């Protein structure tokens, strides 16, 4: 794209309609360095990310569909969406706040998962406005969730800003939220990556490094036990970088059925707002994805529940053919007194940023 083209504010193109007749728009954000990102207004969802490989060839590296009906289908396991109001699990869908008890939908028996059933943030249509500034091209999506929606207290106003840098292959997602009553908030993006190109058969050949000495062990229903444990000597030690397939079989019979763990990120350097969370490398294509965040945790999920659903371009999404790296506060924080707090108070602003930088590995020989 020419520099002149990148000066134009992106506008939404029609992407179809939801079952209940709402129009959905798709925004395209481009970098002069090659990265192309498409985001739709249903669920403030990443629909496509085209990143260059070692030969400069662009491939779409995230799972998704070509139309809204795909996203509304049973096969959609939170592909690319903004996830909330509270991502991940809340034990038995229950919590108590300011002396009031709340009960949320149980949609991941026996727990609440990813904000609910009908009106979680991934299922509603957001308002959107494209913009350009000296940093790049972006789109700002807003949604106002009424008091009590999906059982959560307070009216929650959420803004998610997607920005593609002008001259590097970097996508930054910034989240902001305000409430009029104390309420738990934990927001993430649930993109499923395969750096060989979405629809490639596995991610077991990807090499993952996590900046985490500790993780939060879970019970049989994937609710944290409350312990913060060392990764030392476990199959979840990714501090030095390891092929995902190397030890995954050891977890086949665990409650997580593979990797589905929340990692506690090591403290961020004092001089930096963002903390390195993860580096994923796909040796054959040379693609590398670096994730940095202001969040204290990251869920690494190895696509264990993917079941061969057919997505974009008729491609099949097989078991463990994509991975998620969900930057977040820890699961079930609202019920876990020793985890960092996720309750947003009226008058406060929730703020969180995650950066996804696509690079090329320099061959060793
Ligand atoms: C999260 C969870 C997984 C699974 C996926 C969606 O990453 O941790 O257990 O529910 O979402 O399928």
Q: Is 326 among the catalytic positions?
A: yes
The Å distance, Cα 33 to ligand 1 centre, comes to 32
* Nearest Cα residue to 264 out of 253, 246, 277: 277
**Left (φ > 0), alpha (ψ -120 to 50) or beta: where does 358 sit?**
beta
CB proximity list for 159: less than 8 A, separation 6 or greater: 140, 141, 142, 175, 176, 177
Q: Ligand 1 in contact with 327 (CB < 6 A)?
A: no
Q: Ligand 1 in contact with 191 (CB < 6 A)?
A: no
| Ligand 1 nearest atom to the CA of residue 260, by list position | 8
| Ligand 1 nearest atom to the CA of residue 256, by list position | 9
Q: Reduce the DSSP state of residue 317 to 3 states and report it.
A: strand
d(CA 267, CA 174): 20
Q: Is the pTM of this model over 0.95?
A: yes
Residue 183: predicted pLDDT: 98
Q: Ligand 1 in contact with 41 (CB < 6 A)?
A: no
* Nearest Cα residue to 37 out of 4, 60, 70, 64: 60
Q: What is the pLDDT tens value at each position of the chain, 365 positions in all? A: 555 455 689 999 999 999 999 999 999 999 999 999 999 999 999 999 999 999 999 999 999 999 999 999 999 999 999 999 999 999 999 999 999 999 999 999 999 999 999 999 999 999 999 999 999 999 999 999 999 999 999 999 999 999 999 999 999 999 999 999 999 999 999 999 999 999 999 999 999 999 999 999 999 999 999 999 999 999 999 999 999 999 999 999 999 999 999 999 999 999 999 999 999 999 999 999 999 999 999 999 999 999 999 999 999 999 999 999 999 999 999 999 999 999 999 999 999 999 999 999 976 65
Q: Reduce the DSSP state of residue 27 to 3 states and report it.
A: strand
Q: 6-40 burial string, b = 16+ CB within 10 Å, else e? A: beeebebeebbebeeeeebbbbbbbbbbbbbbbbb
| Ligand 1 nearest atom to the CA of residue 87, by list position | 1
Q: Ligand 1 in contact with 305 (CB < 6 A)?
A: yes
Residue 216: predicted pLDDT: 98
**What's CA 251's distance to the chain center, in Å?**
23
Among the options 190, 206, 282, 329, which is catalytic?
A: 190
| Residue with CA at minimum distance from ligand 1 atom 6 | 77
- At 213, which helix (H) or strand (E)? none
């Amino acid at each position: 794209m020419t520099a002149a083209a990148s000066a134009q504010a992106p506008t939404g193109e029609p992407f179809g309609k939801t079952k209940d007749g709402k129009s959905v728009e798709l925004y395209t954000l481009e970098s002069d360095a090659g990265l192309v990102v498409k985001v739709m207004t249903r669920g403030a969802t990443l629909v496509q990310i085209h990143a260059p490989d070692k030969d400069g060839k662009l491939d779409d590296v995230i799972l998704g569909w070509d139309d809204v009906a795909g996203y509304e289908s049973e096969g959609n396991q939170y592909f690319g969406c903004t996830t909330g109001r509270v991502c991940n699990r809340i034990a038995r869908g229950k919590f108590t706040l300011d002396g009031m008890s709340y009960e949320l939908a149980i949609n991941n028996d026996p727990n609440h998962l990813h904000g609910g059933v009908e009106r979680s943030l991934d299922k509603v249509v957001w308002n959107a406005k494209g913009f350009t500034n000296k940093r790049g091209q972006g789109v700002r999506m807003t949604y106002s969730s009424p008091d009590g929606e999906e059982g959560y207290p307070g009216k929650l106003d959420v803004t998610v800003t997607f920005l593609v840098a002008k001259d590097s292959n970097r996508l930054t997602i910034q989240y902001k939220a305000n409430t009029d009553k104390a309420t738990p908030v934990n927001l993430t993006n649930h993109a499923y990556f395969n750096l060989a190109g979405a629809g490639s058969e596995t991610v077991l050949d990807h090499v993952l490094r996590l900046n985490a000495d500790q993780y939060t062990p879970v019970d049989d229903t994937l609710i944290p036990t409350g312990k913060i444990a060392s990764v030392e000597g476990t199959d979840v030690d990714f501090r030095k970088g390891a092929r995902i397939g190397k030890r995954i079989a050891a977890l086949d019979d665990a409650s997580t059925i593979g990797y589905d763990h929340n990692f506690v990120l090591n403290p961020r350097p004092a001089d930096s707002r963002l903390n390195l969370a993860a580096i994923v490398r796909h040796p054959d294509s040379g693609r590398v994805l670096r994730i940095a965040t202001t969040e204290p945790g990251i869920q690494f999920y190895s696509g264990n529940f993917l079941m061969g659903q057919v997505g974009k371009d008729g491609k099949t999404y097989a078991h463990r053919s994509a991975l998620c790296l969900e930057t977040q506060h820890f699961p079930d924080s609202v019920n876990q007194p020793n985890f960092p707090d996720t309750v947003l108070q009226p008058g406060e602003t929730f703020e969180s940023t995650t950066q996804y930088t696509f690079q090329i590995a320099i061959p060793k020989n």
